[in-house]
Copies of this chain bind each other. A is one copy, B any other.
Amino acid sequence: MRLGLDIGGTKIDAVALGDDAAVLARVRVATGFGPDAVVRNALSAALQAAEAAEVSVAALTSVGIGIPGIVDATAGVVRHAVNLGLGELALGPILSEHLGVPVRVENDVNAASLGAFHLLGLAGSMAYLNLGTGVAAGFVNDGSVWRGARGTAGEIGHIPIDPAGERCACGQIGCLETLAGGGWVARKWGGEAELPVLEVFDAADAGDERAVALRDELVGGAAAAVRILVLTADVETVVIGGGVSNIGARLLDRVCASLDELARGSQFLGSLELPSRVRLVPPGQPVAAIGAALAGVAESEAIGA
């Protein structure tokens, strides 16, 4: 049995996976802020998940962690996880020493990519397009994550696609994230809704012109992201995940319609058959925690090899 922990900005989502990759137990714990709190709560989440699955920690095959920030997967070190109050933390070695099992650390989007690849039963190459507060992507090929030369692969949210666009928090103009990032949509929309992007979709359906404009901008940005991922890496499948993907088929259908419209204007783009290559991540699944657990296995196999 292996554990997977998805350490997010507010909560840690922990799962215990059986040898057939089925979820045997799931627990949630508040993340806290700063290195001490994050380490303590991650340990607590791991112990609670093991207890819920009725297994002793010593009997675990591995523990995998998905966490935001720049991750050095070899050293198990996370850097610049600003929302968690982490500058640099050797999370893998610290947790491994406390738990006595191999611990693998992955960037959260990469972990979710592995989880999506597994949950959808994919083969070959896939990009996971995370539409959350920000926009980023992860790449999986034949079950392995492509992290890039410096661990920053998939930072497509900061590709500028409109010189007349808005200034992004990163300092550039017209980044993809300013169109398709949930944080941007929420700020432009205003209000106090718990799921502002869903409120925008509902208001657009009801005919609100400002909501229609914001919705179409988000959909157009998501379609542009799919186009960039396929024109660059030529992945077979693009899986849309992240908080915004909870809108479900209403989002996917509009993204595919947008890609269809682009293809009508370009035979070349049409030949890429983009709409048929886009999928939604399965709803209601702890995709990043499952992916983190799978990443942990990959590591322990490497250690055993």
Q: Which residues of A contact B (CB under 8 A)?
A: 124-125, 137, 139, 146-156, 158-164, 170-172, 224, 227-236, 262, 265-269, 272
Contact = CB atoms under 8 A, between A and B. Distances in A.
A175 to B, nearest CB: 9
B266 A172 contact: yes
15 contacts: A137-B232, A149-B234, A149-B236, A150-B234, A150-B272, A152-B230, A158-B231, A158-B266, A160-B161, A161-B161, A162-B162, A170-B269, A171-B265, A171-B267, A172-B265
Judged by DSSP, the binding face of A is loop
A280 to B, nearest CB: 19
Contacts of A234: 147-155
A228 B232 contact: yes
A268 B265 CA distance: 35
Contacts of A236: 149-150
The 5 closest A-B pairs by CB, nearest first: A148-B234, A171-B266, A149-B236, A153-B234, A170-B268
A164 B163 contact: yes
A228 B159 contact: yes
B158 A269 contact: yes
Contacts of A268: 158, 170-172
Nearest to A162: B163
A269 B172 contact: yes
A161 B176 CA distance: 10
Given A232-B233, A265-B171, A149 B124 contact: yes
Contacts of A267: 170-171
B228 A149 contact: no
A172 B231 CA distance: 13
Contact of A269 (B146, B162, B171, B233): B171
A236 B151 CA distance: 10
A134 to B, nearest CB: 11
B159 A227 contact: yes
A143 to B, nearest CB: 15
A231 B155 contact: yes
Contact of A153 (B154, B164, B232): B232
Given A170-B269, A228-B228, A266-B172, A235 B149 contact: yes
